[in-house]
Amino acid sequence: MKYEQLAKDIIANVGGKENVSSVGHCVTRLRFKLKDESKAKTEVLKNMDGVVTVMKSGGQYQVVIGNHVPDVHAAVLTVGNLGVASENTDSSSDEKMGLGAKFIDMISGVFHPILGVLAVTGMIKGLAALILALGWVEATSGTYQLLNLAGDGLFNFLPIFLGYTAMKKFGGTPFIGMAIAAALVHPTLATLTTGEVSKVLFQGTIFESPIHITFFGIPVIMMSYASSVIPIILSSFVASKVEKGFKKFIPAVVKTFLVPFCTIVIMVPLTFLVIGPISTWAGSLLGAATVWIYELSPLVAGLILGGFWQVFVIFGLHWGLVPIAMNNLTALGNDPVLATTVMVCFAQIGAVLAIMLKTKNKTLKSLSVPAFISGIFGVTEPAIYGVTLPLKKPFIMSCIGGGVGGAIIGVTAGKLWMFGGMGVFVIPAFIKPGSGLDMSFWGSIIAMVAGFAVAFVLTYLFGGINKEQSSKATNETTTASKEAAATKVQNEEVVSPLNGEVKALSEIEDAAFSTGALGQGVAIEPSEGKLLAPISGTVSALFPTNHAIGITTDLGAEILIHIGMDTVQLEGKYFTAHTAQGEYVEKGQLLIEFDIEQIKKAGKPVTTPVVVTNHMDFSLELTKQKQVNTGDPLFKLL
HEC secondary structure over 38-72: HHCCHHHHHCCCCCCEEEEECCEEEEECCCCHHHH
Determine the structural domain holding residue 310 and report its residue range.
297-467
Q: Which of 278, 293, 308 is the last residue of a domain?
A: 293
**CATH for 19:** 3.30.1360.60
Closest CA to 35 of 22, 50, 24: 22
- Which DSSP string corresponds to 279-343? HHHHHHHHHHHHHHHHHH-HHHHHHHHHHHHHHHHHTTGGGGGHHHHHHHHHHTS-BSTGGGTTT
Catalytically annotated residues: 26, 562
Q: Is the separation of the CB atoms in 305 and 406 below 8 Å?
A: yes
Q: Is the separation of the CB atoms in 520 and 559 below 8 Å?
A: no
Q: Is residue 478 part of a domain?
A: no
Q: Cα–Cα distance between 564 and 547 in angstroms, integer?
A: 8
- Measured from the Cβ of residue 474, the count of other Cβ atoms closer than 10 Å reads 7
Closest CA to 352 of 398, 306, 285: 398
Q: Which long-range contacts (CB under 8 A, 24 or more apart) does 191-195 make?
A: 192/222, 193/222
Q: Is residue 492 part of a domain?
A: yes
Closest CA to 115 of 34, 22, 31, 59: 31
- pLDDT, position 183: 94
Taking the chain (638 residues) in runs of 10, the rounded mean pLDDT of each run is 83 89 79 87 84 77 80 86 50 54 75 81 84 87 90 88 92 93 90 79 80 88 86 94 92 88 95 91 82 89 91 73 81 87 93 91 80 85 81 92 95 87 86 82 94 95 68 38 42 87 87 77 93 91 88 85 88 89 87 93 92 81 89 86
- pLDDT, position 101: 66
Instruction: Return the ∠ at Cα 299 (arms to 294 and 305), rounded to 5°.
Output: 65
Which run of H or of E encompasses 61? Answer: strand 60-64
Q: In what order do the strands lie in the sheet with 53-57?
A: 20-25, 29-34, 60-64, 53-57
Q: Specify whether 315 is located in the same domain as 455.
A: yes
Q: Which of 46, 77, 96 is the last residue of a domain?
A: 96
Q: What pairs with residue 620 in β-bridges?
A: 637
Closest CA to 94 of 34, 15, 26: 34
Q: Cα–Cα distance between 358 and 354 in angstroms, integer?
A: 6
Residue 130: alpha-carbon gap to chain centroid: 30
Closest CA to 581 of 537, 542, 533, 536: 542
Please, what's the b/e burial string for 45-70 (b: 16 or more CB within 10 A of its CB; e: otherwise)?
bbebebbbbbbbbbbbbbbbbbeebe
Backbone angles phi, psi at 235, to 5 degrees: -65, -40
- Measured from the Cβ of residue 509, the count of other Cβ atoms closer than 10 Å reads 11
Q: Specify whether 495 is located in the same domain as 448.
A: no
Q: Cα–Cα distance between 249 and 107 in angstroms, integer?
A: 31
Q: Which residues contact 188 (CB under 8 A, 6 or more apart)?
A: none
- pLDDT, position 465: 80
Backbone angles phi, psi at 548, to 5 degrees: -145, 145
Alpha helices in 223-251 (DSSP H): 230-249
Q: Specify whether 31 is located in the same domain as 71.
A: yes
Q: Specify whether 319 is located in the same domain as 448.
A: yes
Q: Which residues contact 240 (CB under 8 A, 6 or more apart)?
A: 167, 170, 171, 172
Q: Specify whether 417 is located in the same domain as 501.
A: no
Q: Cα–Cα distance between 510 and 565 in angstroms, integer?
A: 7
Q: Cα–Cα distance between 613 and 516 in angstroms, integer?
A: 9
Q: Is residue 134 part of a domain?
A: no
Crossing angle between the packed helical segments 344-358 and 439-462, to the nearest 10 degrees? 30
Work out whether strand 537-542 and strand 530-532 pair parallel, antiparallel, or are unpaired. Answer: unpaired
Q: Is residue 135 part of a domain?
A: no
The SS3 of residue 219 is strand
Q: Is residue 147 part of a domain?
A: no
Q: Specify whether 563 is located in the same domain as 498.
A: yes
**CATH for 497:** 2.70.70.10
Q: Cα–Cα distance between 14 and 25 in angstroms, integer?
A: 15
Q: Is the separation of the CB atoms in 638 and 622 below 8 Å?
A: no
Q: Cα–Cα distance between 165 and 230 in angstroms, integer?
A: 13
| 41: amino acid identity, one letter | K
Q: Is the separation of the CB atoms in 350 and 459 below 8 Å?
A: yes
First CA to last CA distance, the chain: 49
Q: Cα–Cα distance between 264 and 261 in angstroms, integer?
A: 5
Closest CA to 130 of 441, 346, 422: 441
Q: Specify whether 587 is located in the same domain as 502.
A: yes
Q: Is residue 111 part of a domain?
A: no
- Measured from the Cβ of residue 483, the count of other Cβ atoms closer than 10 Å reads 12
Size of the chain, expressed as the number of residues it contains? 638
Q: Is residue 132 part of a domain?
A: no
Q: Specify whether 223 is located in the same domain as 174.
A: yes
Closest CA to 407 of 321, 291, 305, 290: 305
Q: How many domains does the chain have?
A: 4
Q: Is residue 538 part of a domain?
A: yes
Q: Specify whether 453 is located in the same domain as 323.
A: yes
Q: Cα–Cα distance between 181 and 230 in angstroms, integer?
A: 11
Q: Which of 414, 440, 467 is the last residue of a domain?
A: 467
Closest CA to 223 of 237, 236, 235, 207: 207
Which run of H or of E encompasses 215? Answer: strand 209-215
Backbone angles phi, psi at 222, to 5 degrees: -85, 130
Q: Specify whether 14 is located in the same domain as 55.
A: yes
| 600: amino acid identity, one letter | K
Q: Specify whether 453 is located in the same domain as 492.
A: no
Q: Specify whether 428 is located in the same domain as 459.
A: yes
- pLDDT, position 84: 42
Q: Cα–Cα distance between 412 and 343 in angstroms, integer?
A: 14
Q: Cα–Cα distance between 43 and 556 in angstroms, integer?
A: 24
